[in-house]
Structure 1
Amino acid sequence: MKRKLAILFAIIAWFAVIVQFYIMIENRVSSISETVIRFFSFFTILTNIIVAIYFSSQSTKSKVSGFFDQPGRLTAVTVYILVVGLVYQFVLRQVWEPTGMQKIVDELLHSVTPVITLIYWFLYEKKKMVKWSEVPNWLIYPAVYLIYILFRGDFSGFYPYPFVNVPEIGIQQTFINSFFVLILFLVLSYGMILIGKGSVANSKDA
C-alpha cells in the first residue's frame, strides 16, 4: 500500500510541475532562458519538485530513498509543502484568478499536493524518532532560498512573490514579511513533531 500511494502521489506531483513548466514556457514574456530561471525561482515549484522526488524515491530502493527514509526527512518535506499551501491560501490566492488548465495545476501545486503529503506523513513518518534538534537544519533550505531571490531580484528586477518584492514594498517590509514566514515554519515544524509524538503515545495507551 505504501509503495502504491508513493507512485500515485509522485505522478500527481510530477504532472503538476511539468504542466506548469509547459504553461510558463507557452505564456512567457521574456526569453526562454530567463523564463526557465524564473520557473525555478518559485518556492512553490522547488518544493513541489522536492515532494515529487521524495515520492519517487519511496517507490524504489536507491541511495535517494535511503536519504529520505531517515526519521524527520518526511516531516521536513511536509512542513515545506504545507507552508506553500498555507501562504497561497491566505496570502496569494486573492491576488490572481487563474483559469483553464492553469487553475487545475494551481490547485494541484498549492492544495492537492500539500494534502496528500500530509496524509502520507500521518501514515508513514517514524514520528517517535523525529528529534526536536533537527528543526534548525530544516530552516536552511528556505533561508538559502530567500537569500537567492533577494540577490537575484536586485540585479534582475524579478521577485517571485509580492511579499518579497523589495522595489514595491521596501526592504524593511520584506524582512518583516519574511520573519512571519519564518514563524510559520517554526510553528509547523515544532507543532508537527509535537502532534507526531502525541499520536504515538496515544496509540500505545489505546
Structure 2
Amino acid sequence: MSVWTRPALWWRLAIVISAGLGLILGTASLVYFTIESNVIVLGYFAGAVYWMARRGTTDAPAPRLRGAAVLYITITGLVAHILLNHGENPLPGLVSGPDRLQHWSSFFLHYVTPVMVMLDWLCLKPRNASQWRDLPVWLSFPLGYAGLTLLRAAVFPHFPNAYPYFFLDPTENGYGWVAGQIVQLTVEFIALGAAVVGLDRLGTTVARRLKPATA
C-alpha cells in the first residue's frame, strides 16, 4: 500500500499547513516562544512528510526530536490558554470584532497545532521511542529561551519587546520574582515532559494488551 494512501502522512501534512497558516496570518516575531515552537513544529513535520514520502513509511523520523516538538508546542498551548488568556474561549474572536486574521493566527498557533501534534504523538508511530533521559535535553530549550530573553534585555535595554511575557519581566517585581516564576514553570514543564514520555509508553502498553484480544 502506498504511503500516500495512509492517514499518517496526510495528518502530518495538515500539521504543517496549520503551523504555516498560524505563522503567515500573524505579525508576531521570533522573540515569542509561541513563534519559535511553531517554527520547530513546522520544520520537523515538513521534514517528516518528506521522509515518509521518500522512504514509503508511516514512521516519523527522529522520534526524540519529535518528542521535543510535542513538549514545546504543548507548553505553548497551555501557557497561552491558562496564563495569558486565563481560560478565555478563543472562538468568538474568529467570527467577529477587529483583527480577525490575528485571532485566526493565534487560534492556529495556540490551539489547532498543539492539539494536532499531541494527537499525532498519541496515535501515530513510532511508539515507545522516547526515553526519560531525554527530559533534560528537551527542557534546555525553554530554559535557554528564558535565560537569553533576560540576558538580551539586560544587554540591550531598548530592544523592542524586550520581555515578551509578563512572567519574564522584572520591571515591577524584580528579578527575584522572575526567578520564582521560572522555577515554578520549570517544575511544571518537568511534569509535562514526564507526561509526554509517559503517554508514549502508555500507548504502547495499551496497544500491546489490546492486540491479543483483537487477533
Identify the TM-score tier after normalising by the shorter chain: 0.7 to 0.9
Q: Which residue of 1 aligns with 2:76?
A: 84
Distance 1:116 1:204, change over 3 A: same
Distance 1:125 1:137, change over 3 A: farther
Give how far 1:190 is off: 0.9
Size of the aligned set, in residue pairs, is 186
Distance in 2, matches of 1:186 and 1:95, equals 22
After TM superposition, list the pairs within 5 Å mapping 1:124-139 onto structure 2. Answer: 124-139=124-139
User: In the alignment, does 2:63 pair up with 1:71?
Assistant: yes
1:3-30 alpha-carbon deviations (Å, 9 max, x no partner): 2122221011011112213xx5xxxxxx
1:87-135 alpha-carbon deviations (Å, 9 max, x no partner): 1111101499884211111111111111011011112243323111111
Q: Which residue of 2 aligns with 1:6?
A: 12
Q: Which residue of 2 aligns with 1:140?
A: 140
Counterpart of 2:79 in structure 1: which amino acid?
V
Instruction: Judging by fraction of residues, say which structure has more helix.
Output: 1
Distance in 2, matches of 1:55 and 1:129, equals 17
Once structures 1 and 2 are overlaid, which stretch shifts more, 119-128 or 97-106? 97-106
| TM-score, reference length from structure 1 | 0.82
Structure 2 gap ranges (5+)? 1-6, 211-215
| TM-score, reference length from structure 2 | 0.79
- From 20, 34, 42, the equivalent of 2:32 is 42
Q: Contact (CA 8 Å) 2:26, 2:105: kept in 1 or not?
A: yes
Distance 1:135 1:171, change over 3 A: same
Q: Which residue of 2 aligns with 1:34?
A: none
RMSD: 2.3
Structure 1 gap ranges (5+)? 25-38
1:30-70 alpha-carbon deviations (Å, 9 max, x no partner): xxxxxxxxx111100000110111111121139xx9xx712
- The structure having more radius of gyration, on CA atoms, is 2
Q: Contact (CA 8 Å) 2:122, 2:199: kept in 1 or not?
A: no
Counterpart of 1:70 in structure 2: which amino acid?
A
Counterpart of 1:19 in structure 2: which amino acid?
L
User: In the alignment, does 2:25 pair up with 1:19?
Assistant: yes
Distance 1:146 1:201, change over 3 A: same
Distance 1:118 1:149, change over 3 A: same
Distance 1:125 1:163, change over 3 A: farther
1:134-160 alpha-carbon deviations (Å, 9 max, x no partner): 111111111221111101112235200
